[in-house]
Amino acid sequence: MRLDASVIPPSNRVRMTTDCNTSLLVLQDRDMNVQRIERSLAELPNERATTQGKIDGYTAEIEAGRQRVKEMEVRGKSIEAEIAEVENQALKYKNQQLLVKKNEEYQALTHEIESTEKKTSELEEQEIELLYELDEARKTQGESEVEWNEKIDAEKRFLGRLDEKESQLNSEIDAARAALAQVKGEIDPPSLSVYQRVSRGLKFPIIVALRDSKCEGCHMRVSASVEVETRKGTEITTCDNCGRILYWDA
C-alpha cells in the first residue's frame, strides 16, 4: 500500500494528534519518490546494456548469415576452377592421343578421357546443386535481414526512449530532492532521527497503520502498550516486531 498523507481519510487524520505524523508521512512519500527516481536512474545503464546486447546479437546474426552465403559463393568458384582444370586435363589427353602410336597407349588415354568427363559431370552436378542452395540461402538471408533490421530498429527506438526517460528523471530528481530537504527541515530533529533510524534496513512503507491491533507493515499483533501509545499519538511509537512507525487507524 502506498502511504501518504493524502490517502489517510480525514477522520483518521484528526485522530493523529501530532502534526508530526502527517509530516513524517509527507517525508516518507518524498523519500520514496527520490528513491524511485534514483533507482530508475541506476537501472538505466543495465537497460541500455541489455538493449545494446540485443542489437549486437541481431547484427551478429546478419553477419553470420552473410558469411554463410559468402562461403557458398567461394565453394561455387572453387568448383568452377576445378571443372576448368579437369577440362584442361581432358584436352591434354585428347592432344596426346593424336600423337600416340600404340593401341594400348591410345586405349589408356581413352580411359583417362572418360574418367575426366565423368569427373566433369559430377562437378557440374555439384555446381548446379550448390547454385540452387545458394539461391535459397540468398533469399532466406534477404528475408531474415529484413526481420533482424526491424528488430534492430525497434531496439534503437527503445534506446531513444531510455534517453528521454533519463532526461525526464534528471529533470525530476532535483525538484524531488529539494522537496525532500524542505520537509526534513520542517520536522523536529528527534522525530527525524527516529524516521532515519527506522528507514535503515526496512522496506517502504516504514510508517504504517495499526489496524485491529496489527501492524500493517509486518502483519503481526503488537503489544498492548504499543497499541495504547499509538492510540494516544502523543509521541512516535514503533512496532515492537518490525520497528516501523505506527499511526492509529481504527
Point out which residues bind Zn ion (CB under 5 A): 215, 217-218, 239, 241-242, 244
Q: How far apart are CA 209 and CA 218, in angstroms?
A: 11
Grid cell, residue 19, equals: 502534526
Q: Is 136 helix (H, G, I), strand (E, B) or coil?
A: helix
- Quote the crossing angle between the two packed helices 189-199 and 19-99, to the nearest 10°: 30
> Smallest distance from the beta carbon of 196 to Zn ion, in angstroms?
18
Is the separation of the CB atoms in 169 and 61 below 8 Å? no
Q: Is the Cβ of residue 20 or residue 242 nearer to Zn ion in the bound state?
A: 242
Cβ closest to Zn ion, residue 123 vs residue 215: 215
CB of 238 to Zn ion, least distance (A): 8
CA dist 236 and 25 (Å) reads: 12
Which of 233/243 has CB closer to Zn ion? 243
Question: What's the closest the beta carbon of residue 244 comes to Zn ion, in angstroms?
Answer: 5
Closer CB to Zn ion, residue 179 or residue 218?
Answer: 218
**Rounded-to-integer distance, Cα 173 and Cα 184, Å:** 16
With beta carbons less than 8 A apart as the criterion, state whether 71 and 98 touch: no
Between 34 and 208, name the residue whose CB sits nearer to Zn ion: 208
> C-beta of 214: minimal distance to Zn ion in Å?
8
State the nearest-atom distance from the C-beta of 222 to Zn ion, in Å: 7
Smallest distance from Zn ion to CB 149, Å: 54
Query: CA neighbours within 13 Å on the CB side: how many for 181?
Result: 6
Dist CA 170 CA 155 (whole Å): 22
Q: Which is nearer to Zn ion, 58 or 247 (CB)?
A: 247
CB of 237 vs Zn ion, minimal distance in Å:
11
Nearer to Zn ion, 16 or 239 (CB): 239
